[in-house]
Structure 1
């Protein structure tokens, strides 16, 4: 996979580059500034996936995330995985809200998980292949906020548990192992989730749409 990296911490930037190349990916370029990220995306070497730190120069606030949102508008085919030290904000919700219309995948990963090689590479693969991957801690924080509103309130506890695993980017097969349930049982739960969230007749990736409904709860 062709990847571009935007990370202002030189050591982390070098570490991510080395790890991705070790596992067969091609890092086209790496930048340390959100403005440079925008400039790079105007070049001919457009990556298939962007790994973007939320907090970057020039303002050292959420410059990287805002740049990612701008890039998503102009390059919906580019997958975007953002790295953050925080659980998210309105800009994060805006990026995730655009996921169904974008052909590229979308991910939100806490920086602490970059050091967990398997988790990080799984997120890279999921997002790079057009999926949505949300950090489990972000999902846990959403669960702690209480029962869902609207259509989400109609989900059973088990269905919410399955949806949480979907939000983390797990496949059906992985969910069966995590919840110790059979494949047909998981499929029935997912079908019920789509029906209750009124997604059965909607166009687009229904797993992504379901996750976004979950994130809006």
Structure 2
């Protein structure tokens, strides 16, 4: 019999889930109403499966999720099913990246109404499988990608200096490489950002705006003034 620790702060829903799980052959070894209590119960009972709401006391934000991720860090094989009122793709990503990547589930609470299917999904997760709500999958697939993710660390560094307004020669001096090497890096950056050949200065401006739009920040103490300038070799 699969041993379960259940965490849900709404008493009626928690009691309903306890009855539902028992009906389908799960043994609920603890049912708690807060994230700290979830951690304590999971450590005390060493369950096969944790079922938790994302928003839990004391913070009523993502406390349940953070507790689940922390527990999987301690026990990578611990199966976790997270329930959510709304689609939060970033929460699903955090859960899927936790532990050893197996035995995780993320469902909207509406799915619990399909009780037989829900019980089957819990068994899948407890057995090491992965279950992700279709609405969450769609959100993950359509989430905007970071335009800078294709850049290497060195290319990001060069782009940051371009965004600060440094010329190729100044960047080369700062990084202790040749100006030709900087020209090659900038060419790679422009290609990876999908900027077609055009006026060189305009491409540098667009690249700098892309960097800033993706949340890039300026380094401290560089002495550069914001605003990309042209330079040879780009």
TM score, norm. by length of structure 1: 0.62
Does residue 1:34 correspond to 2:32, yes or no?
no
Give the match for residue 59 of structure 1: 59
**What is the CA distance between 1:98 and its match in structure 2?**
2.5
Q: What is the rounded CA distance, in whole Å, between the counterparts of 1:126 and 1:42 in structure 2?
A: 22
Write the mapping of 1:78-89 to structure 2, written as runs, cut at 5 A: 78-89=78-89
Paired residue secondary structure (2:51): strand
Give the match for residue 160 of structure 1: none
Aligned residues: 145
Q: What is the rounded CA distance, in whole Å, between the counterparts of 1:64 and 1:33 in structure 2?
A: 8
**What is the CA distance between 1:143 and its match in structure 2?**
4.5
Give the match for residue 191 of structure 2: none
Q: What is the rounded CA distance, in whole Å, between the counterparts of 2:54 and 2:89 in structure 1?
A: 10
Paired residue secondary structure (2:136): helix
Q: What is the rounded CA distance, in whole Å, between the counterparts of 2:144 and 2:59 in structure 1?
A: 35
Q: What is the rounded CA distance, in whole Å, between the counterparts of 1:134 and 1:90 in structure 2?
A: 13
**What is the CA distance between 1:118 and its match in structure 2?**
2.3
Contact 2:104 2:131 survives alignment (8 Å): yes
Does residue 1:18 correspond to 2:19, yes or no?
yes
Q: What is the rounded CA distance, in whole Å, between the counterparts of 1:71 and 1:86 in structure 2?
A: 23
Change in Cα spacing, 1:30 to 1:47, as seen in structure 2 (3 Å) is same
TM score, norm. by length of structure 2: 0.58
Write the mapping of 1:1-217 to structure 2, written as runs, cut at 5 A: 1-43=2-44, 45-98=45-98, 101-102=100-101, 105-144=103-142
**What is the CA distance between 1:119 and its match in structure 2?**
2.5
Contact 1:66 1:91 survives alignment (8 Å): no
Q: Which moved more, 1:6-15 or 1:111-120?
A: 111-120
Contact 2:3 2:48 survives alignment (8 Å): yes
Where structure 2 has 5 or more consecutive residues not aligned to the other structure, the ranges are: 148-234
Where structure 1 has 5 or more consecutive residues not aligned to the other structure, the ranges are: 150-217
